[in-house]
Amino acid sequence: MPRITISYRRDDSLDITGRIFDRLAGHFGREAVFRDIDSIPPGADFRRHIDRVLDESDIILAIVGPRWIGPDNEQLRLTSPADPVRLEIETALRKDKPLIPVLVSRAVMPHPDVLPDSLRDFVYRNAVQVDSSQDFEVHVGRLIRSIERLLRIGEKRTPHEAVQGVIAAIEAAPPTEATPNAEPPIDLLAPVLRWVIRRVIGLGLVVIGRLCEPDYAKAMRWYRKAADHGNAYAKSRLAALTELQ
């Protein structure tokens, strides 16, 4: 289940954030959408709390209203290093999380010059406009489609996971049985296919072994499996790791 976290200021965009929250919860599920990051337990370090919440998030929405940077240009809350909203945006940028600015109540993206250096990259994130009037549903629908695209991108597996999936699929495949009426050329190809499959499995196991090299025991286990499939490189790495131990 995805986790969508909403960052906002209560005195800036409470009402429309509530509407956006309800719409997203209705589409993705109530348990997938979170807000009120700054509801921090008493005595807790809010820096660590925000870091943990955003670390568990797949997408962060930053609701930007007309009072997001502060009540006026002389009282910019974002200039305070302890400002919770500033910490939320800084943390999302530092973790390189998918971060979508959502402009509400006719707000515009702030100029880079009025932001701390740690927040200036935020203004270059492509923003989505959500109007509270009759276009609300249209705008929120566009926001939902943007979130869905980002979630699909996030679903792509890492190279390690992809290799493991290929190996599992190959190893789980039942052995090919000879068909009584099979043509001779097909029978002649069977040894070649078996050789190719063994080499593919061996190569995949080598990739996993290299990813596991910081852990000698795990690396040796995968290299040993690759060597069993006839991979010469795995045999050499297995010998090298054995000497290190």
Geometric angle at alpha carbon 180, from 179 and 182, rounded to 5°: 60
Q: Which of 107, 125, 154 is the last residue of a domain?
A: 154
pLDDT at 225: 78
Most confident of 65-74, 82-91, 191-200, 219-228: 82-91
In this prediction the pTM is: 0.61
Is 199 or 166 the better-scoring residue by pLDDT?
199
Q: What is the DSSP string of 16-72?
A: HHHHHHHHHHHHH-GGGEE--TT-PPTT--HHHHHHHHHHT-SEEEEEE-TTSS-SS
Query: 145 and 98 share a domain?
Result: yes
Residue (of 187, 6, 26) closest to 99 by Cα position: 6
Is 57 or 46 the better-scoring residue by pLDDT?
57
* pLDDT, tens only, 54-93: 999 999 999 999 989 876 555 578 888 889 899 999 999 9
* Count of structural domains, the chain: 2
Q: Which of 137, 154, 171 is the last residue of a domain?
A: 154
Phi, psi of 34 (to 5 degrees): -130, 145
Phi, psi of 103 (to 5 degrees): -90, 125
Give me Rg for the CA atoms of the chain.
27
pLDDT at 217: 66
> The domain spanning residue 54 has which CATH number?
3.40.50.10140
Query: 74 and 50 share a domain?
Result: yes
Is 172 or 123 the better-scoring residue by pLDDT?
123
Range of the domain at 218: 159-244
Query: 171 and 62 share a domain?
Result: no
